[in-house]
Structure 1
Amino acid sequence: MEELKSLGKHNKPKPWDVDPDMERCLERWAVEKKFDPTWNPTGMLEVSSFSRVYPQRREKHLLKCWPRVKSALKEHGVSCELNLVERYMTVSTTKKTRDPYIIVKARDLLRLLSRSVPARQALKILEDDMSYDIINIGRLAPSKEKFLITRVLFLGHKSSSLKTLETSTNCFIRLQGNTVAAMGSFRALRRLRIIVEHCFLNGMRPSDVLKTMEDAGKCGPNRFTKEKDPFTDSPWYLPSANTYWEDGGYMLPLYDRF
């Protein structure tokens, strides 16, 4: 009986992972108070700015959505600039900026826009309870051939596996090249990173990894939402025809089947 591959010997479970009382543990991810402009009435003392280069294929989309991005940042007192000659975006604070952390959120917005994330979805990163994660999947597979096969399994037929994984984790997922860009809550992104890494380390579909983790008692449905996992109830879910099980519910690594 073989277990899922891990990233290293130091990847050990945290205390909040093994605590059965998840209600107390989940409070650590909650946002207690949102920023109030009255906390910083004088504004920023210095000007902070960030720039981000975007690929040429994104120029047409950025030109179309830039007025919406500019108006959304203006509400938070942040100025933005789109340079079409050198192909880069810039955000900077102004005298009307009150939230010191909003410039970091604006920097994350530029990074998501340059990674083929739609502007309507990328603007949600300005919210306090929203975060993002960039997962590098190119280094996880042992070879380029196995990486391409696992990438096809991760997407599924007409992106069915990707849509079902979004439903299960409540995250927005965008696969671009050798990276996976995701947006969601802190707790959901942490769970998503574990699933994505196991998918490319073991060469399995997301549905197979979720089923394996549930049977192993590592990521059951009562762990996060205390409800049935919507992954298998999704209309996009299709059972795998190449699933091999051992005693105890563990799945054999797909590398042994190549």
Structure 2
Amino acid sequence: MTIRVAVAGATGKMGRLALDLIEASDDLELHAALSSKSELDEMLGADVALDVSHPAASAGIVEFSAGAGIPIVVGTSGWSSERIADIERFVRDHEEAGAVLFIPNFSIGSVLGTAFAALAAPWFDSIEIVEAHHAGKVDSPSGTAVRTAELVGEARAGKGPVAAPHADQRARGQLVSGIPVHSLRMSGLLAEQRVVLGGDGETLTIAHSTLSPSSYEAGILLALRHAPEAVGVTVGLGTLIGLDLPTAGGGE
């Protein structure tokens, strides 16, 4: 079976990567390549949509696709657990709605790093996240950092909040689920995340670095191939690779 894919954000870096993957694949076929000037109804007739557009445009794309019964894989940043909850209600209230898969990060290594941080979180009372991306990334914190912070918070639900002294000071980062998150945006970087956990006499650092966009390829293909059979709302690539993680949300 060939899966017809509509790509929203086709002119961006992730969009161009997706187009190359679709062209090289035997079971995927490009249905439409949408830019910011395209009409959303160009997605109609696709078996699955991929949203790698812009945070300001993503909500409209997701609502159109889901409302049209087209499953959509969302790789665009800016999706917090609260915004995802709105989409969950929309999908639940519309019987014919297409499934929505929110994938904050298509990198398998990044997903595993987040899972390791959630696993370690109950054992440490001091936890902070430092994430760094290229200068062109328009949002901060990153969706991956938001996802990680939310999962760390879920993992510590029975332990109480982390120790975050002087959180009122701007230099201490933005609190996400009670976790201080610090963002760097600068030339020379692609994507990095470090979760630093501190305990009595020790620290544990869980770090992941993205060195090439090729690290996203396996995750993109996995999500596109899974989407046509998906139901409801799925959050995170971890679900697709069998990781047992909480369902809190995020964006890349």
- Tell me the TM-score range normalised by the shorter chain: under 0.3
The higher-RCO structure (CA 8 Å, 6+ apart) is 2
TM-score (norm 1): 0.25
Structure with the largest fraction of strand: 2
**Greater CA radius of gyration, 1 or 2?**
1
